Amino acid sequence: MNVHPCNPFNLLLACLLAVSPLAHADTLQRIERSNTLNLGYIDDIAPFSSLHDGKVSGYAIELCQKVAEQVKTELNLPALQVRYQPVKEAQGLTAVRDGSLDLLCSPTVESLTQRKRVSFSLPIYTAGLAALVRKDAPETLVNVLNGEVAHSGPTWRATLNRGLANHTYVVKQGEATEAWINRQQRMLGVVATVLTVGSQEEGVQLVAEGKADAFFSERMLLKTYLARRDDASAMQVLERIYEYAPVAMALPRGDEDFRLLVDTALSMAQRSGELEQIYRRYFGEPGEMVQALFKAYALPQ
């Protein structure tokens, strides 16, 4: 019998492969073996995704259905089982990372911090950063947040600082908004308190209780969370959009084959005009900017 001594290098390589993220980059193989596609969604952020009478629906859900159709075609799985799993806002990316979900349909703002945990599809929507305030908020604060200050000379900076200073602002932790507000503070030299929360609901609640003067987040989500509250009449979402950011669906990191399939489904929906039709059902007629961005986001064949 020939005995071959264990090569330490080969042993080390085997261990590295066992823990490497690429070892988990087999989403399509798992789907093919199980005949199941696991799609996650946050059940209370209409019009993106919501659950009513036991049925999940929304803009992001319809786009996920396009992905499911692409999976059926590419893997030749006409009887594919598509399972929708509700998750809380703070749990979605964790569920993708640990393999519980193949794709998180509800859109997320992509950031360098988030990309350490998961990968992202092509953008499916362009978020607009806005502010939620109480209707009895100081007039000086509302005027500045609405941009109703002349943008010229030292007078503008002084007025801006007086309007923004010594207030408390809220942002969602880990999102691009947190970095944005920190940049604004440094650039303007504004002395203010910035709180971070784990969910949209927490941010709205702090404003409602008067513990924060403004909550900065995606405008459509702010309006959604505000509309469901009994005290909605005491607050308002300002019209001004401070920044735009693309949002996308999260999927496992390091799985380029599955990401390619997802992006193919989204690009095909854009080129065929289906994506615009879906958008129109949930958000109304898309403006010129929205149409231009969708064309920019889609990849050619």
Please list the pLDDT of the chain residue by residue as tens digits (301 residues). Answer: 444 444 443 443 343 334 344 434 599 999 999 999 999 999 888 899 999 888 999 999 999 999 999 999 999 999 999 999 999 877 899 999 999 999 999 998 888 888 999 999 999 999 889 999 999 999 989 988 998 864 555 544 445 555 687 899 999 887 778 888 888 888 777 778 999 998 888 999 999 999 999 999 988 889 888 888 999 999 999 989 988 888 999 999 999 999 999 999 999 999 999 999 999 999 889 888 888 988 899 999 8
> Which class would CATH give 22-125+246-297?
alpha beta
- pLDDT at position 58, please? 95
**Where on the phi/psi map is residue 189: left (φ > 0), alpha (ψ -120 to 50), or beta?**
left
For residue 93 the two structure tokens come to: 């990316």
Q: Parallel, antiparallel, or unpaired: how do β-strands 168-172 and 244-251 relate?
A: unpaired
Break the chain into its structural domains and give their ranges: 22-125+246-297, 127-244
SS3 189: coil
Q: Class assignment of domain 127-244?
A: alpha beta
The pLDDT of residue 23 is 39
Q: Which pTM does this prediction carry?
A: 0.74
Residue the block writes with tokens 């504004």: 190
At residue 25, the pLDDT reads 56
Between β-strands 244-251 and 119-120, what pairing exists: parallel, antiparallel or unpaired? antiparallel
Q: Residue 224's pLDDT is what? A: 83
What residues does 104 pair with on adjacent strands? 40, 250
Rounded Cα–Cα distance for residues 107 and 102 (Å)? 14
Predicted confidence at residue 4, as pLDDT, reads 44
22-125+246-297 and 127-244 share one fold: yes
Judge contact between 214 and 131, C-beta under 8 A.
yes
